[in-house]
Amino acid sequence: MTYILVINAGSSSIKYQLIDMDNEEVQAKGLVERIGIEGSALTHTTVGKEKFVLKKNMPDHGAAMLEVMKALTDETYGAVKSMDEIQAIGHRVLHGGEKFTQPSLVNEKVLDGIREYIELGPLHNPANIKGIETCMELMPGKPNVAVFDTAFHQTMPDYAYLYGIPYEAYKDHKIRKYGFHGTSHRYIAMQIQNMLGREDLRIVTCHLGNGSSLAAVKNGKCIDTTMGLTPLEGLVMGTRSGDIDPAAIPYLMKKYNMTAEETVNYLNKKCGVLGISGVSSDFRDLEAAAKQGNDRAELALQMFTYRIKKYIGAFVAAMGGVDVIAFAGGIGENDGEVRKACLEGLEFLGVSIDEKANLSRGEADITAEGSKVKVLVVPTNEELMIARETKALAL
């Protein structure tokens, strides 16, 4: 047994998985919600055992982590006898700026580095730091590894990551494209390399979930991605606008009487397919509404898939061609209609999908016979990728 605990700490939540790296199987997983808010709750499941739910006020991440440890070691519901059986802890960290191009074994210097990027990841980095500090305190002596959402994208060339604003804004304030979902894009690209037995591939990875992004991965390295300084740039998402003319922002502020902060919140939470449709950010609801003749739900779906198609075209151009287009995430893995709409009209690039294979869910090769470009559904697994990185660095 080589047990690694993977932690994804949000501002009021902790998601965790215990993975046995001898067989890469999940032993237990759970979620603490509403930390520091009335009505905190822990939901824990050990594989093969009954689900455990605890409703108890947990004022901070320390209190929540203590309950996670109790659940993991519980005689009835737990997965281990003692926390000593866990050899290392891997943490998802949102923003690693330009400092972190790789996962890092946590020490004070690394923590300082993560603190340095709080300004760029104001909601996530403080929570990620809390998650790490809590584990260091409650499991002294265990190695902690930070795995950054931005790290995989650090191989982008400067002409791709810079914005067309004065160079000083980049030099003095580090304003540039960073990209996110890097752990997922990297995992998907590696799975494809393993599947096809070669690394010299031009891949467009499409991670489509509540948040969505595309990456152009050439010979295993990211050369471009759709998200930017923050996860707001790029695709039209569940509730995020994606690309928008920056001059629309002061206009929105004036028309809706919003502060800068309120406007960023509006662009992150009230826009995207939710804002367009007025129905939902969930694609199952949108498709049901569109089938019943809701025009705006239909429009939202069209906008979502059109923007993806446009970026696929851009990334194919950036890579000088394409060998594989891969879909992942809650939408990418489950929604054949979205996949089909994203690729419709790309036959000129040599892309065509097998309609029957495209109806399936989960891992699948949906390439049509004779298609020059492979089209794959590759379920992503960020937790496993974090556990692999943690094992490689800590054990």
Site string for ligand ADP, 349-378 (x = CB under 6 A): ------------------------------
Could you count the other beta carbons within 10 Å of the beta carbon of residue 186? 24
Which span sits near ligand ADP by CB under 6 A: 34-42, 325-333, 352-360, 384-392? 325-333
149 in catalytic set: yes
CA–CA separation, 323 and 225 (whole Å): 17
**Per CB under 6 A, 329 contacts ligand ADP:** yes
238 binds ligand ADP (CB under 6 A): yes
What whole-number distance in Å separates Cα of residue 341 and Cα of residue 24? 34
Q: Smallest gap, in angstroms, from Cβ of residue 163 to ligand ADP?
A: 25
Judged by CB under 6 A, the stretch of 5-13, 48-56, 224-232, 279-287 that binds ligand ADP is 279-287
By beta-carbon proximity to ligand ADP, the closer residue of 224 and 382 is 382
Distance CA 346, CA 36 (A): 49
Q: Using an 8 Å Cβ cutoff, are 103 and 48 in contact?
A: no
Binder among 19, 26, 127, 331 for ligand ADP (CB under 6 A): 331
**Count of residues that bind ligand ADP according to CB under 6 A:** 12
Which residue among 52, 117, 152, 283 contacts ligand ADP (CB under 6 A)?
Answer: 283
- CA-to-CA distance for 395 and 390, rounded, in angstroms? 8
State which residue, 104 or 230, has the beta carbon closest to ligand ADP.
Answer: 230
CB 225 within 8 A of CB 177: yes
Nearer to ligand ADP, 121 or 238 (CB): 238
Sites for ligand ADP among residues 17-36 (CB under 6 A):
none
Beta carbon nearer to ligand ADP, 143 or 209: 209
If one asks whether residue 242 binds ligand ADP (CB under 6 A), the answer comes out as: no
Query: Can residue 211 be called a binding residue for ligand ADP (CB under 6 A)?
Result: yes
Q: Are 104 and 145 in contact (CB under 8 A)?
A: yes
Are 199 and 193 within 8 A, CB to CB? yes
- The residue sitting closest to ligand ADP, measured at its beta carbon, is 330
Of residues 113 and 275, the one with the C-beta less far from ligand ADP: 275
Q: How far is the CB of 125 from ligand ADP (least distance, A)?
A: 18
Using CB under 6 A, pick the residue from 51, 198, 284, 356 that binds ligand ADP.
284
> Three-class SS of residue 296?
helix
Instruction: Give the Cα-Cα-Cα angle 105, 107, 111 (nearest 5 degrees).
Output: 100
Supply 200's token pair: 């010299």
- Which of residues 4 and 331 has its CB atom nearest to ligand ADP in the complex? 331
Residues 128, 381: Cα–Cα separation, whole Å: 19
The reply on whether position 282 binds ligand ADP by CB under 6 A is yes
Starting at the edge strand found earlier in the chain, the sheet holding 144-148 runs: 52-55, 41-46, 25-33, 14-20, 3-9, 86-93, 144-148, 104-105
The answer to whether 215 and 234 have CB atoms below 8 angstroms apart is no
Nearer to ligand ADP, 113 or 182 (CB): 182
Which residues from 48-107 bind ligand ADP, rule CB under 6 A?
A: none
Exactly one of 45, 334, 367, 390 binds ligand ADP (CB under 6 A); which one? 334
The distance of closest approach from Cβ of residue 362 to ligand ADP in the complex, given in angstroms and rounded to an integer, is 11
| DSSP 8-state code for residue 353 | B
Residue 372 CA to its chain's centroid (Å): 29
List Cβ neighbours of 92 (8 Å cut-off, separation of 6 or more). 6, 7, 8, 9, 128, 147, 149, 183, 382, 386
Q: Give, to the nearest 10 degrees, the angle between helix 295-319 and helix 283-291.
A: 120
Query: Which structure tokens are listed for 311?
Result: 């970026």
- Contact call for residue 330 and ligand ADP (CB under 6 A): yes
Among the listed residues 74, 149, 282, 285, the single catalytic one is 149
**Chain residues in the site for ligand ADP (CB under 6 A):** 209-211, 238, 282-284, 329-331, 334-335
Residues identified as active-site: 149
